[in-house]
Amino acid sequence: MDFDASGYAAPGASTPQDDVSLPMFNIERVSLQFSVASEFVAAEVANNVLILALSTGRILRIDLDSPADIDDIDLPKKPSEIGIIRRLFLDPSASHLIITTTLAENYYLHTQSRTPKALSRLKGVSIESISWNPSTPTASTREILVGASDGNVYEVYIEPSAEFYRREERYLKGVYKTIDGPITGLWTDIVPGRADLRRVVVATPSTFMHFAGKIGRHGHEGSGSIFSKLFETETAAVHEVSNVSPGAPSSLSITPETPDSPPSDHTNSQRAFAWLTSQGVLHGKLYLSPDTSELGSQILSESKMLARSSIPPSQTAGGRARKSQDAVTSMILSQWHILQLVEGRIVAINRLDDTVVLDQVVLEPGQSALGLVADIKKNTFWLFTTQEIFEIVVTDESRDVWKIMLKAQQFGAASQFAKNSAQKDAVATASGDYLVGKGQYLEAATVYGRSTKPFEQVALTFIDKGEQDALRRYLLTKLSMLKKSTVMQRVMVATWLVELYMAKLNILDDTITTKAELSESMNTAETQDKLSVIRKEFQEFATKYKADLDRKTVYEIVSSHGREEELLYFATVVNDYNYVLSYWVQRERWQESLDVLKKQTNPNIFYKYSSVLMAHVPVDLVEIMMRQANLDCQKLIPAFLNYNDITKVPLNQNQAVRYLSFEINQHSSTDAAVHNTLISIYASHPTGDESALLSYLEAQSYAHEQNYDADFALRLCIQHKRVQSCVHIYRSMGQYVQAVDLALKYDEIDLASSVADRSDTDPSLRKKLWLAIAKKVISQSSGIKTAIEFLRRVDLLRIEDLIPFFPDFVVIDDFKEEICAALEDYSRKIDALKQEMDESEETAAHIKTDIKTLEQRYAIVEPGERCYVCGLPLLARQFFVFPCQHAFHSDCLGKKVAELAGIARGKRIAELQMEVSKGASVGAKRDKAIRELDALVGSSCVLCSEMAVKLIDEPFIKESDDKEEWAL
């Protein structure tokens, strides 16, 4: 990969994609497109920013995302004054750079600055390592730890400032001192869940120290040390190595951040550490736990030493291995490997199983290297020499992790790192075999269910071992893994599971019944709990996989085991309420039947079971049906009629009547079948009280409705001798004679009288009705007195109307008073008629006089009189004068009348005018037309007659009028 103006990666040198066919590590030389006059003396990479220090004191800052832009920065003083740059320390965010020289001069450079600032408080401190703040701040460094070559650990807070005289360091304090040599490694991170806890790792060439505990707090950030308390109060977990070679390289490396972790999550996962010593590399996991008391001991107890002897020796010129061990000059960690620079070659060893995955010579003989550097943010790895840069490109580094975990029987981790189905299947199969070998059948069942191990082998294994619970779990897991398209396999597995569930439930029930114990650790109470668990598990299974179960088969299986509760639960889950209801009804469990029915909205279920339920639980059934809005009452009629035949309750407790009345009154049903059924129940009831039926019929009449079949109702009422109801129906049909005859047939005089009183008929019919009633009354009365009293009640009948109905032996003295009253009434009527005749004669005489007067009436027309329509002189042509003194030209009046009189009359006036003006007719015919025209035109004045009244809604000003004449 080239540093050129086109970008970081030059054409033809792109990073290979993840592919197992590619090598895991590939070392590529980076071609530099800039010239330097001196050698590199130090280098650092962080967050894709490369820092190179030259022997001349210059510093090159290169952004690898745009490598064409290079910042060239000079130190404030020449190397002859401050020494050559010895080390660079760049924080993970690439925001802060600390530079140390061979003369222990230290400088600070911020990413937004081009001028390094001297760290006066650190003057004379030869820096060997730095632990950056784990929160990776960018404006300032906040609290960081600095390890010196004299064994001191300092805490410093650096904040860049634009003020000339202000120091960059807020404070500097020594917090720890060791006598074991220089501080070659420092690391700090935050313990998760506790903001006041820190872990600090300190490394020297011979000692590894792990501190964990509380830090101090101050009211103002940067006002004082926070690590002093940690080092003063906590005791380190220490690991020491003996026989340390003088001058042997030593360093501390931490694994980079995982690529899929959030950038801000400094506690993303348990990272690993590696401590390079003269005897090898000590490496392990940096566990995270809020309990820090034993954290260091756990880390050191589980860490392991990668001895130098595990590094393959280099080959001599003849191809033979060297006898002496090559020196390790630098070491870094990738996610899973330890990369070491060994005498010009890079050796990568897997830290899980110590296998060597890379051993490649990179440097030429005699070529010196500055060391290996890792970018822990971007997960990139670099090798720097005094003149060249190499990138160690990693491809699919975790490809073999699953194999290593599987070999170590860490099946959970192996499954986590398995990337494809074949790998996951291999892990699952091996894990299942291992668990079966240890007798952990339930755990093995879950693992086998996710593998492709032959189904029959796994099933037979569990069957042979008698492990029905494991077999059930295996089938459940297998069913969840089968594709939806494998219908037959899913149905068979699901059906087998039903059988296993039923068998298990029966075993548990038998155990409880016999009060036996399943094992030494499970008593009857525990068995009961287990039964509840298995029953719930079956219910969840049936709910989830109901689509994979054949109803008929499941019914047969569950029924054969006698599992009533499970049978009904399954039927409910698959919405087979017909089956559930049938089950309860067959066993005459009416309350359970109603409980199922309450949850239904399918009307067909109500129609099917309404007859039997009406016969046994009518009140509750009607309550439920009245809450349904989609029932067709006509389909429930057979159930109501059957119920009415077998019940003997009063009408006010009859549930069929209750529901039918509800349909009519609340749902406004107009279905004739519903109304006829209600009438049938009312009429056929054994009670003699027909008030309920009569109330219904009267309500229909008051509502001006007749939704029942009148002929059917009439026949039914006659059959059951419901006289009042029959009379009401006759009357509603307008058959008053039949109504009165029926009432009189049953000696219901008052009922007949009410019909005659309320009949909306002509007087002759009413008289006929009253005569029939009178005849009945007279025939039933024991004396003439009763007949006379009846006569006084009716104003239509006279004594002479009743005389034919009296017996022959009745003498006139018995009703002499009534005859005299009748004669006096006739006399008064004769006198009234005579008076009316006299008044009529007088009125006729007055009319004759008025006619004679009318012939002599006249009107005076003045010479200047004008027509009230056109305004022209009236005498200019033929005209009309009315008694009201309004005068009009005959043609003007004709037009006005035609306009106001309507279409038909106006049309006739126009025809007559045309006929008269053209002389189409002569003689008597013409005279007749003129008389008709005068009658039509001159019948009334258009200004003050009824025509004028009709003009009340006409506007004063018409559209044709001149608006200016009316303007105010």
**866 assigned to some structural domain:** no
Burial 239-264 (b: 16+ CB within 10 A, else e): bebeebeeeebbbbbbbbbeeeeeee
Which of 74, 94, 118 terminates a domain? The answer is: 118
Q: How far is CA 200 from each of CA 175, 188, 215, 823, rounded to the nearest angstrom?
A: 12, 5, 11, 140
The whole-number average pLDDT for the span 845-866 is: 80
CA atoms within 13 A on the CB side of 257: 21
pLDDT bracket for residue 4 (50, 70, 90) = very low
> pLDDT tens, 904-917?
777 888 888 788 77
Predicted pLDDT of residue 911? 82
Pairwise CA distance, residues 296 & 298, whole Å: 5
498 CB neighbour count, 10 Å cutoff: 23
Token readout for 135 is 């929160």
Are 171 and 157 a contacting pair, CB within 8 Å?
yes
The whole-number average pLDDT for the span 337-362 is: 92
- One domain, residues 880 and 807: no
Tally of residues, the chain:
968
Relative to beta strand 169-177, strand 152-158 is antiparallel
DSSP state of 255: P
- List, in order, residues 6 or more apart from 193 with CB less than 8 Å away: 290
What string of DSSP letters covers 375-406? Answer: ETTTTEEEEEESS-EEEEEE-SGGGGHHHHHH
Token readout for 832 is 């009234």
**728 assigned to some structural domain:** yes
Token readout for 204 is 């020297």
- One domain, residues 598 and 541: no
Backbone angles phi, psi at 121, to 5 degrees: -70, -20
Q: Is the pLDDT of residue 107 over 90?
A: yes
SS3 278: coil
The residue with greater pLDDT, 777 or 908, is 908
SS3 543: helix
Pairwise CA distance, residues 824 & 47, whole Å: 135
Domain containing residue 54: 34-118
For 303, left (φ over 0), alpha (ψ -120 to 50), or beta?
A: beta
Residue with structure tokens 């003006």?
A: 917
Q: Is the pLDDT of residue 30 over 50?
A: yes
Are 16 and 61 a contacting pair, CB within 8 Å?
no
CATH code for the domain of 615: 1.25.40
- One domain, residues 529 and 605: no
For 589, left (φ over 0), alpha (ψ -120 to 50), or beta?
A: beta
Q: Is the pLDDT of residue 6 over 50?
A: no
Predicted pLDDT of residue 19? 47
Pairwise CA distance, residues 504 & 501, whole Å: 5
**179 assigned to some structural domain:** no
Predicted pLDDT of residue 250? 93
- List, in order, residues 6 or more apart from 591 with CB less than 8 Å away: 617
> pLDDT tens, 533-545?
888 999 999 999 9
Q: Which long-range contacts (CB under 8 A, 24 or more apart) does 479-482 make?
A: 479/545, 479/548, 480/449, 481/449, 481/450
Instruction: Using CA atoms of 393, 395, 400, 401 in order, give the dihedral in degrees to the nearest 10.
Output: 80
Which of 118, 152, 171 terminates a domain? The answer is: 118
**856 assigned to some structural domain:** no
DSSP state of 866: B
Token readout for 500 is 């296993």
pLDDT bracket for residue 920 (50, 70, 90) = low
The whole-number average pLDDT for the span 84-111 is: 95
Pairwise CA distance, residues 671 & 679, whole Å: 13
Are 606 and 636 a contacting pair, CB within 8 Å?
yes
Predicted pLDDT of residue 12? 34
Flag the least confident range among 17-26, 583-592, 608-617.
Answer: 17-26
Pairwise CA distance, residues 348 & 334, whole Å: 9
pLDDT bracket for residue 82 (50, 70, 90) = very high
The whole-number average pLDDT for the span 651-673 is: 85
Q: Is the pLDDT of residue 365 over 80?
A: yes
- One domain, residues 654 and 731: yes
- One domain, residues 691 and 806: yes
- One domain, residues 524 and 580: no
175 CB neighbour count, 10 Å cutoff: 20
The residue with greater pLDDT, 930 or 395, is 395
**Domain total of the chain:** 4
- One domain, residues 725 and 609: yes
Burial 752-766 (b: 16+ CB within 10 A, else e): bbbbbeebeeeeeeb
Are 687 and 651 a contacting pair, CB within 8 Å?
yes
Taken in order 664, 669, 671, 672, the sign of the CA dihedral is: positive
Most confident residue range from 188-192, 267-271, 578-582, 891-895: 188-192
> pLDDT tens, 207-249?
999 999 999 876 456 678 899 999 999 999 999 998 888 778 9
Predicted pLDDT of residue 54? 93
Predicted pLDDT of residue 894? 82
Backbone angles phi, psi at 306, to 5 degrees: -95, 100
First to last CA, the chain: 101
- One domain, residues 780 and 919: no
SS3 111: coil
Relative to beta strand 40-46, strand 49-54 is antiparallel
Which of 776, 792, 821 terminates a domain? The answer is: 821
Q: How far is CA 315 from each of CA 34, 107, 345, 503, 962, rounded to the nearest angstrom?
A: 35, 43, 11, 70, 128
> pLDDT tens, 626-653?
888 888 888 888 888 888 888 888 888 8
Pairwise CA distance, residues 210 & 300, whole Å: 9
If we measure between CA atoms, which residue out of 548, 543, 540, 424 comes closest to residue 485?
Answer: 548
Predicted pLDDT of residue 716? 83
> pLDDT tens, 684-698?
887 777 878 888 877
Are 663 and 676 a contacting pair, CB within 8 Å?
no
**758 assigned to some structural domain:** yes
User: What pTM, to 2 d.p., does this model score?
Assistant: 0.58
Token readout for 863 is 């010479």
CATH code for the domain of 100: 2.40.128.630
Pairwise CA distance, residues 345 & 363, whole Å: 7
**841 assigned to some structural domain:** no
If we measure between CA atoms, which residue out of 682, 674, 732 comes closest to residue 704?
Answer: 732
CA atoms within 13 A on the CB side of 183: 26
Across the beta sheet with 356-361, the strand order is 328-333, 337-342, 345-350, 356-361
Predicted pLDDT of residue 291? 84
Token readout for 312 is 């393959």
Predicted pLDDT of residue 13? 35
CA atoms within 13 A on the CB side of 48: 10
Q: Is the pLDDT of residue 575 over 90?
A: no
pLDDT bracket for residue 745 (50, 70, 90) = confident
Flag the least confident range among 622-636, 655-669, 872-886, 939-953.
Answer: 939-953
- One domain, residues 535 and 496: yes
- One domain, residues 545 and 415: yes
Pairwise CA distance, residues 43 & 52, whole Å: 5
Q: What percent of the chain has pLDDT over 70?
A: 83
Residue with structure tokens 């020499």?
A: 385
Relative to beta strand 185-190, strand 106-110 is unpaired
Pairwise CA distance, residues 129 & 59, whole Å: 19
Are 797 and 774 a contacting pair, CB within 8 Å?
yes
459 CB neighbour count, 10 Å cutoff: 17
**How far is C-alpha 889 from the chain's CA centre?**
86
Q: What is the mean pLDDT of the chain?
A: 82
Identify the H or E element spanning 79. Answer: helix 79-82
Predicted pLDDT of residue 263? 47
The whole-number average pLDDT for the span 485-492 is: 92
- One domain, residues 546 and 580: no
- One domain, residues 757 and 683: yes
**307 assigned to some structural domain:** no
